[in-house]
Amino acid sequence: MLFGTEEYKERIQRTKERMAQNGIEVLLITDPANMNYLSGYDGWSFYVHQMLLIIDDEEQPIWIGRGQDANGAKVTTWLFHDNIIPYPDDYVQSETKHPMDFVSDILKQIGQDRRAIGIEMDNYYFTAKCCEQLKKGLLNASFIDATSLVNWVRIIKSDKEIQYMKRAAAIVERAMMEGIGLINEGVRECDVAAKIFHTQITGTEEFGGDYPAIMPLLPSGEKTSTPHLTWTDERYKKGETVILELSGCYRRYHSPLARTVNIGKPSIEFQTLSDVVVEGINACLDMIKPGIACEEIEEAWRRTIEKSGIVKESRLGYSMGLNYPPDWGEHTASIRKGDKTILQPNMTFHLIPGIWLDRYGFEVSESFRVTESGCETFASIPRQLFIKEDTLISN
Amino acid sequence: MLFGTEEYKERIQRTKERMAQNGIEVLLITDPANMNYLSGYDGWSFYVHQMLLIIDDEEQPIWIGRGQDANGAKVTTWLFHDNIIPYPDDYVQSETKHPMDFVSDILKQIGQDRRAIGIEMDNYYFTAKCCEQLKKGLLNASFIDATSLVNWVRIIKSDKEIQYMKRAAAIVERAMMEGIGLINEGVRECDVAAKIFHTQITGTEEFGGDYPAIMPLLPSGEKTSTPHLTWTDERYKKGETVILELSGCYRRYHSPLARTVNIGKPSIEFQTLSDVVVEGINACLDMIKPGIACEEIEEAWRRTIEKSGIVKESRLGYSMGLNYPPDWGEHTASIRKGDKTILQPNMTFHLIPGIWLDRYGFEVSESFRVTESGCETFASIPRQLFIKEDTLISN
């Protein structure tokens, strides 16, 4: 287990407080990060339906999942084995049986089928079918949308969580410098990605890395006009720009980071774009402190870059930390216009002011925690456009 | 683009035939593998809501997604740019706006809001909230469950798809042998995982690898009692068993493979278990051919291992090929009791008879395609328990 039982119990307590505020008596948690946060459960089993039940007057959660994953729950959680309930394998990806029917039956058996039930309506792992089957199976229950309820409980990190994110940052620093070092004319994109992966997972001598919730994003050339492409097995060409957005991950905790490399001298307009964005991110990092609202960071960014004529319509960043694929973002606070979340110490964000134009783009980012008086970035790598002057063919 | 426009059009045609059979006039596709299959769309953007619309009397699909991903759709799909419709960024992970409201508005604008609309009810990327919002927004439409409709169109692979899976197999052979070679007493689990990742991504001299839809599964020791744990930064101990379940991936096409390693001489009971499972998988591979039903493979397995007293309750395998996280399985045919899918040439499966007992487990698997007269495995690695006799400390 990654945290002491007391920390898990305290998290459950804070979850129950939010449940009470929302009139929820039983909470069904399907978000794997939320399951992990409250129980310790870890495993690549979220591709089948599984959940954690939190009942208002029970101390321990109940884990329900596929039979073959029950031993995984015994190994990774603080739950009594009696609270680990496996469903038979013929419920898996079947056209005739659905795991939510099993869940409904359990709720009936334990007398929890006439209660106010919270469900994570907009979570990847709670499909439309899950909702439909549960409602069919639990005619006497009422349902309340509990999307992001536990995510909001997660928003302020404990010191141990911050320590894990610092370890993730030590890993991403190495992976980023490895990637920047290798990118050059004639090198295959996949060979750079492979070395980055190697560094992400081998970690340091002291601790190893976990798989990040998002694979390395490595668009090159015109593909830098969009942020979410990965890599190919093509070779980099002279003059191309390459964006790297990667995360270190330690025990499911992330520290993402983005930088941009130019193979050879950049055009004046590209250098100007990168200077503007770097000035903008620096202005943000300078003004971040407890007590301000997320939207104020966006305002500082906008005021700083205004004179350049560059406009960024997409959000500037988001809360993050513990997560599983497909996203390291926490789905709580966003750094954008209208977000009035007030910063507090040990909130953690990925600030990523990417600009994607029609033919090229530029990204530079920092993951940071809010401190007592300002903020501190997790990683420490120069905030600049990296230029590979020496474009010899390497293979 | 990975396939010619003709292949995409032919896939659309087969999809429309299934739509007609199911009374569906407009199909909303959110499964990233289905989106890729019909449009070519590729990118790690499935963590935000996005979809592909197939309209019964329109030749081209319509892509709807986040603004910053629209250039990605232009780069990776065969669609006219007019058919790529971006939504503004304030729809992303917002508590006040939902991307399905945007989708409803589009459907109204193009006069498709009074039709029979197919939705992938049990897909990870179509949440309960997506369904609720769509139904609120489209009061004059009728909705039909289209879960796995396109998945079933995918079940027989084209020759080019088979070629991609063979490339994935060339990658997994290398990654598996790398992993088996490195596992030994005193080696950190994360260092083995890192080398496996490196090989998965760097691929071969001729072609590079893509990220697999499932990260390497590497349980060790007692954790082999469950299949879906990844790795830690602990060091392997003498006598421990390690299971490796990995896939090569080439342009989103997979060839998964599982093998088991014992560090030092295995116990008699463990060697017996592995012999039984190997005998069972061999019996299955010997009898597979077009015309038989999936459940007949399970029957052959059961008859073969019966005498050992070992019972396997979970399914024996599943159709697979093109996919994105969190699963390389296709969610169509399963090799299990009751599955009456008839095998046809170029169907492709992962046959994985894993046995997980209370304190240990064993896995051996093959990915195969059904041929005209039998089956052929994609990879070629001995089907056996690998024993590391030499347990010197290496670091």
CATH number at residue A57: 3.40.350.10
pLDDT value of position B182: 98
Q: What is the pLDDT of residues B25-67, one digit of tens each?
A: 999 999 999 999 999 999 999 999 999 999 999 999 999 999 9
- B87 and B213, same domain (yes or no): no
Q: What is the pLDDT of residues A282-302, one digit of tens each?
A: 999 999 999 999 999 999 999
- B208 and B146, same domain (yes or no): no
- A26 and A54, same domain (yes or no): yes
- B242 vs chain A: nearest CA distance in angstroms? 15
Q: Which residue among B122, B129, B200 sits closest to A122, beta carbon to beta carbon?
A: B129
Q: What is the pLDDT of residues A49-59, one digit of tens each?
A: 999 999 999 99
CB of B193 within 8 Å of any CB in chain A?
yes
Dihedral over alpha carbons A321, A324, A329, A330 (to 10 degrees): -70
Of the three residues B121, B153, B185, the one that is the final residue of a domain is B153
Q: Which residue among A70, A93, A127 sits closest to B126, beta carbon to beta carbon?
A: A127
- B27 and B127, same domain (yes or no): yes
What DSSP assignment string belongs to B243-260?
Answer: EEEEEEEETTEEEEEEEE
CB of A300 within 8 Å of any CB in chain B?
no
Confidence band, pLDDT 50/70/90 cuts, at residue A394: very low
CB of B187 within 8 Å of any CB in chain A?
no
- A223 and A287, same domain (yes or no): yes
Contact B92 A334 (CB under 8 A): yes
Average pLDDT, chain A: 97
Percent of chain A with pLDDT over 70: 98
- A216 and A282, same domain (yes or no): yes
Buried b (16+ CB within 10 A) or exposed e, A240-252: bbbbbbbbbbbbb
Q: Are A258 and A381 in contact (CB under 8 A)?
A: no
Spatial distance between the Cα atoms of B30 and B126, rounded to a whole number of angstroms = 6
The answer to whether residue B395 is domain-embedded is: no
Contact A72 B128 (CB under 8 A): no
Of the three residues A127, A153, A179, the one that is the final residue of a domain is A153
- For residue B47, the enclosing domain spans 5-153
- Nearest chain B Cα to A134, which residue? B128
Spatial distance between the Cα atoms of B229 and B218, rounded to a whole number of angstroms = 6
Q: Are A76 and A40 in contact (CB under 8 A)?
A: yes
* Residues of chain B numbered 268-297 and touching chain A (CB < 8 Å): none
Q: Are B314 and A67 in contact (CB under 8 A)?
A: yes
- B57 vs chain A: nearest CA distance in angstroms? 27
- A144 and A224, same domain (yes or no): no
The answer to whether residue A393 is domain-embedded is: no
Is it the case that residue A392 has pLDDT exceeding 80?
no
Q: What is the pLDDT of residues A365-387, one digit of tens each?
A: 999 999 999 999 999 999 999 99
Dihedral over alpha carbons B35, B37, B41, B43 (to 10 degrees): 80
CB of B188 within 8 Å of any CB in chain A?
yes
* Residues of chain A numbered 223-252 and touching chain B (CB < 8 Å): 223, 225-233
- Nearest chain A Cα to B245, which residue? A44
Neighbour count for residue A221 (Cβ, 10 Å): 17
Which residues of chain B are within 8 Å of residue A127 when distances are taken between CB atoms?
121-124, 126-128
Q: Are A186 and A236 in contact (CB under 8 A)?
A: yes
Structure tokens at A5: 């039982």
Which residues of chain A are within 8 Å of residue B223 when distances are taken between CB atoms?
72, 75
The answer to whether residue B394 is domain-embedded is: no
Strand partners, B84: B63
Spatial distance between the Cα atoms of A109 and A99, rounded to a whole number of angstroms = 15
Q: What is the pLDDT along chain B (395 residues), one digit of tens a residue?
A: 789 999 999 999 999 999 999 999 999 999 999 999 999 999 999 999 999 999 999 999 999 999 999 999 999 999 999 999 999 999 999 989 999 999 999 999 999 999 999 999 999 999 999 999 999 999 999 999 999 999 999 999 999 999 999 999 999 999 999 999 999 999 999 999 999 999 999 999 999 999 999 999 999 999 999 999 999 999 999 999 999 999 999 999 999 999 999 999 999 999 999 999 999 999 999 999 999 999 999 999 999 999 999 999 899 999 999 999 999 999 999 999 999 999 999 999 999 999 999 999 999 999 999 999 999 999 999 999 999 986 554 43
pLDDT value of position A2: 85
CB of A123 within 8 Å of any CB in chain B?
yes
Which residues of chain A are within 8 Å of residue B47 when distances are taken between CB atoms?
124, 214, 326-327, 329
Of the three residues A106, A125, A153, the one that is the final residue of a domain is A153
Spatial distance between the Cα atoms of A215 and A228, rounded to a whole number of angstroms = 10
| ipTM for this model | 0.96
- A243 and A360, same domain (yes or no): yes
Neighbour count for residue B75 (Cβ, 10 Å): 19
Percent of chain A with pLDDT over 90: 97
Q: What is the pLDDT of residues A62-111, one digit of tens each?
A: 999 999 999 999 999 999 999 999 999 999 999 899 999 999 999 999 99
The answer to whether residue A394 is domain-embedded is: no
Spatial distance between the Cα atoms of B3 and B7, rounded to a whole number of angstroms = 6
* Residues of chain A numbered 126-165 and touching chain B (CB < 8 Å): 126-132, 145, 147-148
Q: What is the pLDDT of residues A230-276, one digit of tens each?
A: 999 999 999 999 999 999 999 999 999 999 999 999 999 999 999 99
SS3 call for B386 = strand
- A17 and A39, same domain (yes or no): yes
Which residues of chain B are within 8 Å of residue A89 when distances are taken between CB atoms?
313-315, 336
- B292 and B360, same domain (yes or no): yes
The answer to whether residue A39 is domain-embedded is: yes
Spatial distance between the Cα atoms of B84 and B66, rounded to a whole number of angstroms = 10
- B99 and B172, same domain (yes or no): no
The answer to whether residue B393 is domain-embedded is: no
- A217 and A127, same domain (yes or no): no
The answer to whether residue A395 is domain-embedded is: no
Spatial distance between the Cα atoms of B84 and A101, rounded to a whole number of angstroms = 39
Q: How many domains does chain A have?
A: 2
The answer to whether residue B223 is domain-embedded is: yes
CATH number at residue A190: 3.90.230.10
